[in-house]
Amino acid sequence: MPVGESLRKKIERQVLSISGLALGGIDFEQPRGDAGLFGPDTVVWQVHGDFSTMLCGGVSALLLQMLHPLALAGVWDHSNFRQDMLGRLRRTSQFVSGTTFASLADAQRLIERVKSIHLGVTGVDAHGNSYAASDPDLLVWVHVAESYSFLQSYLRYRNPNLSLAEQDQYYREVARVVEGLGGVNVPTSVKEIDDYLERMRPSLRCDERTLEVVRLLKNAPAPSRAAVPVGKLMIWSGIELLPQWAQDELGIRFSPLIRKGIDFSMRRIASVLRWAVRNGSWTRAMRRVGRLP
């Protein structure tokens, strides 16, 4: 095997080891012809099909979500993410990639499973306010923080020329998932998302637990020693993607030189990963629907 091909396969194995594919349980190539929840011609397939931007967006989404006291409390009280960051990454990745790219039956099964899990995620936050993961308003917050972050990462590192109409279409499409989970009154356009985030800002706050999440992310494990620098770059890229007001809330500052360095490095790493990863969820789903051999 040529050296270049050997290196490519090694990188691909490490990338897929931290994705939802590592958990198994979903055959993205079956049944043949099944378009799933969305299908190959949707914007959501386009946006969610780029692993590099999705990982950066996922980091940004988690930090944005954790600024909501009730979302933070639910994760803090009912998740083992502090002990198993890679496990949480794989589970989140499986849900996002499965609902996007898997068959319709598998996507619906994932949604129903998460709905069932949410029923047990209840409690009281640090300020004495009760929370429930099944609360429609909280579901919408988690969804908006996630979809907004994924799209911002895609626009930054993959396709800055995605039109406003296509961005609106992305929000309309991806809303189907949170609506399936029980979310209502979901914002479904760039303007509605921007207005929603502005309305939510007064209810967001950063406390010691939020800062602990930031610390944990900065020190998140990588699948190998060689992957540590790339993993750290991905995390810092995700942090830098946050809206400026969210960075301010977290007390994070980047100099213009650091921002340029992150942007330059991330673009090049993303190109390498796109070259290396040739059998991810998008590729397998495209084979299922007959778009790839």
For 200-210, how does the pLDDT look when each residue is reduced to its tens digit (9 = 90+)? 999 999 999 99
Q: Which comes out higher in pLDDT, residue 72 or 3?
A: 72
- Which whole number is the average pLDDT over 270-292? 97
Cβ atoms of residues 153 and 241 within 8 Å = yes
pLDDT in tens, 149-166: 999 999 999 999 999 999
Would the pLDDT of 98 be above 80? yes
Strands 122-124 and 130-132: antiparallel
User: Which of the given ranges, 82-91, 204-213, 222-231, has the highest pLDDT on average?
Assistant: 204-213
Of all residues in the chain, what percent carry a pLDDT higher than 70?
Answer: 99
- Please report the pLDDT score of residue 3 as a whole number: 67
| Digit-coded pLDDT (tens) for 120-160 | 999 999 889 999 999 999 999 999 999 999 999 999 999 99
Alpha helices in 102-227 (DSSP H): 104-118, 136-157, 164-181, 190-200, 208-218
How far out from the chain centre does Cα 250 lie?
A: 20
Residue 2, pLDDT > 80, answer no
Read off the pTM.
0.97
Cα–Cα distance measured from residue 187 to residue 203, given in angstroms and rounded to the nearest whole number? 18
Q: For 18-50, where are the alpha helices, taking DSSP H only?
A: 43-48
Q: Is 101 a residue whose pLDDT tops 90?
A: yes
With cut-offs at 50, 70 and 90, classify the pLDDT of residue 115.
very high
Residue range 9-20: average pLDDT?
95
Alpha-carbon distances, residue 40 vs 46, 56, 105, 109, 129 (angstroms)? 8, 23, 17, 20, 42
Q: Hey, what amino acid is at 71?
A: A
